[in-house]
Amino acid sequence: MGEVLVARRHPGGHGGDTPGGCTHPVQMSWPDAYATARDAAKPLPAELTPVVAATGRVLAAAVRCERPVPAFDNAAMDGYAVAGDGPWAVCGRVLAGSPAGAAVLRAGTAVEIATGALLPAGTEAVIPYEDCWVEDGLVIGAVGTRRHIRRAGDALSPGTLIAPAGRIVTATVAAAALQAGAEHVLAYRPPTVTMLVTGDEVITDGTPGPGQVRDTFTGLVAAVTARAGGGFTLSRRLPDEPDLLAAALGTAGTDVIVVSGSSSAGAADHLHRLLGAATATWLVRGVGCRPGHPQALAVLPDGRFVVSLPGNPYAGLVAALTLLEPLVAGLAGRPPTGLPTATVTGRATLMPGGVRIVPVGPDGDLTAAGPVGLHAAAAAGTLAVLPDDWADGKPVVTLTVP
């Protein structure tokens, strides 16, 4: 298993289109389409975000330690904090989270203490329970070579790097930041995504009747959006009426609008004409792949992106992984990463001049995945991107299904 960074061979290319579109768009290669979506997206503005709400976001600035860790001298073991030579008279108890008291430990005295508890002033060592015993109110034992004291700043001093800019805030990064005294981080705003599911035949719940199908796109798009660092806002189902689709495009107040269906040139396919009328700039308009050829990416004059997914569920999944995921990741501020590669075996019908995208089994066997389709993708978990010169046993780019 390896990885490859998909290069963009034609920077600035819009698939042959100009603002408003043209009637003869030029099909873009799959690597170029993926790279175009990735490179078209610049990180959204950064904002100061509470650490507890920043998980999944990308840091726009490094996080550094703001206070010593630990913040105070504390016990590294359960036992007795002692001062001077023993035996030591027990004069109190300090538990984690409670003050150590104003009194200074005098020579020959001890307090029972819990791990992590604030040390009383004057403490010279902590003797673990297992290294001593108490008799008639006296701690009897000896101070070993280890003092079992954690001094303020032993782990981290102010200014120490916790996480660099560009890192995704994971739960561990957030916990480390909080431990180091950082209550807020500067993180890129996550992109928001609206889903418009078009088609008179589509229903959102219940059992489909004759000629009807269930909406399979909303869950897929929501999952791809979340995985790429975005926020899925809402899903709307629209009948095949151009005025309703135009209104929905105009009022969707999100960074990205995903439209399923309405992507081809049929009587019910209105999206391309509407985007042309809106003077959208085409970045991708047709991709040299099977399935998923009619997928497209455009940007409206106000900067909102429109991702067009073919109405076939498997083709729509391919398009979401080709255009939507790299676009959202780029808007979220995630740095480009190489796509994984794997050795693939078996036989497949290749696409001359393009790529064939097919499910592949966990061992890289094409035949183990079964017939091409959404059900096979669900069972396999991985898609293989087969170029037209692929041969049995050669490594190829792979895509992980959500």
Best CA proximity match to 49, nearest among 337, 333, 335, 336: 333
Best CA proximity match to 124, nearest among 89, 160, 85, 161: 85
- The reported pLDDT for the residue numbered 18 is 39
Query: Is the model's pLDDT at 268 over the cut of 70?
Result: no
Separation CA 26–CA 38 (nearest Å) = 19
Query: Is the model's pLDDT at 343 over the cut of 80?
Result: yes
> Percent of the chain beyond pLDDT 90?
73
**What's the token pair of residue 108?**
């020959």
Mean pLDDT of the chain: 89
- The reported pLDDT for the residue numbered 371 is 67
- The reported pLDDT for the residue numbered 1 is 56
Query: Does the N-terminal peptide bond of residue 291 adopt cis geometry, omega within 30 degrees of 0?
Result: yes
Separation CA 22–CA 135 (nearest Å) = 93
Give the chain's domains with CATH numbers: 2-44+190-331 (3.40.980.10), 48-67+156-188 (3.90.105.10), 74-150 (2.170.190.11), 339-400 (no CATH)
Separation CA 395–CA 344 (nearest Å) = 6
Query: Is the model's pLDDT at 64 over the cut of 50?
Result: yes
Query: Is the model's pLDDT at 46 over the cut of 70?
Result: yes
CA distances from 12 to 6, 308, 335 (A): 16, 20, 19
- The reported pLDDT for the residue numbered 366 is 87
CA torsion sign, 307 to 312 to 317 to 321? negative
Number of Cβ within 10 Å of residue 9's Cβ equals 11
- The reported pLDDT for the residue numbered 19 is 38
Given pLDDT bands bounded at 50, 70 and 90, which one contains residue 10?
A: very low
Question: Which of the two residues, 13 and 303, has the higher pLDDT score?
Answer: 303
- The reported pLDDT for the residue numbered 131 is 94
Given pLDDT bands bounded at 50, 70 and 90, which one contains residue 101?
A: low
Query: Is the model's pLDDT at 206 over the cut of 60?
Result: yes
**What's the token pair of residue 204?**
């959102």
pLDDT in tens, 123-153: 999 999 999 999 999 999 999 899 999 999 9
- The reported pLDDT for the residue numbered 263 is 63
SS3 sequence of the chain = CEEECCCCCCCCCCCCCCCCCCCCCCCEEHHHHHHHHHHHCCCCCEEEEEHHHCCCCEECCCEECCCCECCCCEECCCEEEECCCCCEEEEEEECCCCCCCCCCCCCCEEEEECCCCECCCCCCEEEEHHHEEEECCEEEECCCCCCCEECCCCCECCCCEEECCCCECCHHHHHHHHHCCCCEEEEECCCEEEEEEECCCEECCCCCCCCCEECCHHHHHHHHHHHCCCEEEEEEEECCCHHHHHHHHHHCCCCEEEEECCCCCCCCCCHHHHHHHCCCEEEEECEEEECCCCCEEEECCCCCEEEEECCCHHHHHHHHHHHHHHHHHHHCCCCCCCEEEEECECCCCCCCCCEEEEECCCCCEHHHHCCCCHHHHHHHCEEEEEECCCCCCCEEEEEECC
Q: The pTM is what?
A: 0.83
Residue 387, φ and ψ in degrees, nearest 5: -70, 170
